[in-house]
Amino acid sequence: MEDFIQKIKTFIKSTDFSKAVLLGITLSLPIFIGITFDIVQVATVITVGAMLASPSDISGSTRQKSKGILLSMGIAVTISVIGGNLHFLTWLKIPVIALLVFGISYISVFGFRASLVSFSGLFALVLSFSPVSGNIDPFERSLWIGIGGLWYLSMSLLWHVLFPKGPTEFYLSKTLSLTSEYLKIRGNLASKENDREELFRRLLIIQTELTETHETLRGILISTRTGSGQSIYEGKRLLIFALLIDMLELAMAHPVNYKKTDNFFRKNPQHLLDFQHLLFEMSRRLEEISHTLSDPKKLSKTSRLSEFLHQVEQDINQYSNQNDLNDEDLSMLRNLYKYQAEQTEKIQKIEWLLIGTSTPQVSFIKNEEARKFLTKESYDFNILIENLNPASPIFRHSARMAVVTIIGFALGEFLELQNSYWILLTIIVIMRPSFGLTKQRSRERTIGTLIGGVLAVGIVFWIKNPWTYGILAIITLIISFSMIQRNYKAAATFITLSVVFSYALITPDVFNVIQYRVTDTLIGTGLAVMGNLFLWPAWEIQNIQKTLCTTIAANRKYFAEIANFYKEKITDPSALKISRKKAFIEMSNLSAAFQRMTQEPKSQQKNMEQVYEIVVLNHTFLASLASVSTYITNHPITSASKNFEKVSDAIVANMIQAETILDEGKSKNITHTKETEDIFDLTYGRNNKIVIHSNDKEEHSAQLEEAYLVREQLKWLLAMSKKMPLLVDRLPLH
């Protein structure tokens, strides 16, 4: 029950719920005013305009949101004018509708925010065929739609003034919670009794979600800062965010050799429990911080982190005094302890930033440094030209959307359905560029509509009060919008309820409305799935080639920055961290692409084992890069040897070879020179013996650790880079 209550609280604090409440208020007020002054028709069109402007209201700076809303409003007004004047014969309408749908859908080639503007345009086109505007002239209707868009923009800005911290608190809390889940999975992976393959898959999914959340939070925290300064609140939140990113990198930088740990923990089970207790306590503490983020005073002052960390340290000391001591096991334990001690320290820093009052001791991140990490969307006109070909997934999706839409339109006209525009609405909401997402949404939409229809029949049968219908219509509308990103099946259920209650206010034959709603949904979902299946399908195996190439290139650039940092002894790690961010994002995109592959028909899940092997290899490669990166940016380092440069060049060459195979679609001669094979015999001396020249014991120990880590990681990176061209060469290249 406590967990359920906490989930409800988290949901209410979410930006999804906040935006749904805003939209509910924005849509309801004009209707109430319209009823009061007997201008319901005009008020309805104003609410349509507000709804059409709302999709682009996503997290980001006020300027970005305002631009998005204005663009959505602009395209909605334009399309409404065109759609409202399509009075000619059906056979003439069809090519015009097809061109409009293709053109509007094609806008999404510019990225996520552009896809939301595109959706507003498609939504406006569909609603131009609906009877919501009554007999209002198309030009007047478009004017009221524009006013509705401005109404929503003003309410959105007012909402931001009233609740400026809402998005920051939600996404930072989500990042804390996801990081907590990541550490919890790492703790479960330590035990061989658990299903490690499934846990590792879950780890990749969490990492993908974390990277996406990082990108959203990065935009909120950095874009909203003023040019000349920042508030203490913003500065502290940005530092906490930076610590959470470092925690993810640190976790990736310490992959566990489970074969070694299993052998050790089998003989020392208590040590395993103590390590797990510490990881689980880290996870629990981060989850607690996420729940009390907006009110840090509620965070409990006592934590068992130090207690568990001390217990692990005692285990290591106890083991080091044993007669049958294994130096390799002791080294493994100390490395694990060091990693967990660093993670514990970061959690304690987060607590201090939230609770501490000594602001002068806080060293804030400068604006100019922070802005380097923002990802900027490109709106170059050449992108439109480059994608204007059948090989482009967006081109295919736009063409598919156009064909399926006109089929749905023609069916509605031919069958003379009461609300045939619902078919088109279902199509534009469900259809996605990938088959897996379309199929999933279709299934959830159908189930949700059927459940909503059944519930609506029961409620309308027992309740005959119009005021109750009105209240329920608003409540279900708010819930539906808040659930769209979280649970589309539930969202579809509440959307159906809201539509039925709205129609119950104006028509006595509400059961017919339910019948047509279900029928139109079934037709729309069927057309969407069949369209993705048979009309220029874009299977992930066809696009995975480009995604792999981009991911390998991002890892290569990250490695190049690491090598340059090490060779040149650069003091500013900004360039290295920017390349790290890009590598994490591309790895996230690759993992997401693989997940989409698993949702496609079995007949299209070709070479899944090879693709999964490459995904895991790139993840492991990135983890190794994170290990070197974390070490060289947090420890004093010595001069790089000439052989370091030779190995670095060999790694880069192997990765370029893999990119070339993927880019050109054909294999090159995959060979490795003898110099590359024997390079480690020369790195630190003959027979791989590390030679350190230092009289200072502490300095000698540090140099020995550096030499060992760099050498071992370089050997591992070289081995993986050799494997990459071989693996990608086995894929069927298109």
pLDDT in tens, 142-167: 999 999 999 999 999 999 888 888 88
Determine the 3-state secondary structure of 59 from DSSP.
coil
Q: Which pLDDT value is given to residue 323?
A: 64
Contact 354, 293 (CB under 8 A): yes
Contact 396, 536 (CB under 8 A): yes
Contact 149, 136 (CB under 8 A): no
Q: Does residue 682 surpass a pLDDT of 60?
A: no
Which helix (DSSP H) or strand (DSSP E) does residue 25 occupy? helix 15-36
The DSSP code for 359 is G
- Work out the pLDDT band at 174, boundaries 50, 70, 90: very high
Q: Find the angle CA(729)-CA(206)-CA(490) to the nearest 5 degrees.
A: 115
Q: How far is CA 400 from CA 9, 76, 83, in A?
A: 41, 22, 20
Q: Which pLDDT value is given to residue 144?
A: 93
Which helix (DSSP H) or strand (DSSP E) does residue 461 occupy? helix 435-462
Torsion angle, alpha carbons of 613, 614, 616, 617, to 10: 110
Cα 667 → chain centroid: 33
Determine the 3-state secondary structure of 60 from DSSP.
coil
Structure tokens at 12: 């209410």
Look at domain 540-729 and name its CATH class: mainly alpha
Q: Which pLDDT value is given to residue 376?
A: 67
Q: Does residue 681 surpass a pLDDT of 60?
A: no
Distance of alpha carbon 631 from alpha carbon 635, whole angstroms: 6
Q: Does residue 685 surpass a pLDDT of 50?
A: no
Structure tokens at 271: 């040590």
Contact 211, 310 (CB under 8 A): no
Q: Which CATH number fits domain 166-368: 1.10.10, 1.10.1740, 1.20.58, 3.30.70?
A: 1.20.58
Contact 500, 452 (CB under 8 A): yes
**DSSP output for 239-256:** HHHHHHHHHHHHHHTS--
Q: Which pLDDT value is given to residue 75?
A: 92
**Which candidate, 345, 199, 198, 333, places its Cα nearest to that of 275?**
333
- Work out the pLDDT band at 567, boundaries 50, 70, 90: confident
Q: Which pLDDT value is given to residue 713?
A: 78
- Work out the pLDDT band at 674, boundaries 50, 70, 90: very low
Q: Which pLDDT value is given to residue 71?
A: 92
Structure tokens at 180: 């907590």
**Which candidate, 495, 502, 489, places its Cα nearest to that of 477?**
495
Residues in contact with 262: Cβ distance below 8 Å, sequence separation at least 6, in sequence order: 192
- Work out the pLDDT band at 690, boundaries 50, 70, 90: very low
Q: Which pLDDT value is given to residue 324?
A: 66
**DSSP output for 681-720:** GTTSSGGG------S-HHHHHHHHHHHHHHHHHHHHHHHH
Q: Which pLDDT value is given to residue 596?
A: 82
- Work out the pLDDT band at 378, boundaries 50, 70, 90: low
Q: Which residue has the higher pLDDT, 176 or 301?
A: 176
Structure tokens at 633: 């940016």
Question: For residue range 224-245, what is the model confidence (pLDDT) as tens digits?
Answer: 654 434 577 878 888 898 899 8
> Average pLDDT of 510-539?
83
Q: Which pLDDT value is given to residue 41?
A: 84
Q: How far is CA 144 from CA 7, 23, 41, 147, in A?
A: 40, 17, 10, 5
Distance of alpha carbon 107 from alpha carbon 398, whole angstroms: 9
Write down the mean pLDDT value for the chain.
81
In a 13 Å sphere around the CA of 149, the CA atoms on its Cβ side amount to 29
> Average pLDDT of 66-93?
83
Percentage of the residues of the chain whose pLDDT score is greater than 70: 85
Q: Does residue 450 surpass a pLDDT of 80?
A: yes
Structure tokens at 536: 């220029």
Contact 357, 565 (CB under 8 A): no
- What's the one-letter identity of residue 205? I
Report for 96-110, 416-430, 472-486, 499-513: range of highest mean pLDDT: 96-110
Contact 373, 342 (CB under 8 A): no
Q: Find the angle CA(426)-CA(429)-CA(433) to the nearest 5 degrees.
A: 120
Instruction: Give the largest Cα separation in the chain, rounded.
Output: 94
The DSSP code for 135 is T
**DSSP output for 141-206:** HHHHHHHHHHHHHHHHHHHHHHSTTHHHHHHHHHHHHHHHHHHHHHHHHT-TTS-HHHHHHHHHHH
Q: Which residue has the higher pLDDT, 284 or 440?
A: 284
Q: Which residues of 445-465 are buried (b: 16+ CB within 10 A; e: fewer)?
A: bbebbbbbbebbeebbeeeee
Helix axes 327-355, 269-291, angle to 10 degrees: 20
Domain with CATH 1.20.58 in the chain: 166-368, 540-729
> Average pLDDT of 172-193?
90
Distance of alpha carbon 515 from alpha carbon 525, whole angstroms: 16
Question: For residue range 10-40, what is the model confidence (pLDDT) as tens digits?
Answer: 778 788 888 889 988 998 899 889 888 888 8
Q: Which pLDDT value is given to residue 691?
A: 44
**Which candidate, 76, 31, 28, 75, places its Cα nearest to that of 49?**
76
**Which candidate, 67, 72, 81, 70, places its Cα nearest to that of 127?**
81
Q: Does residue 568 surpass a pLDDT of 90?
A: no
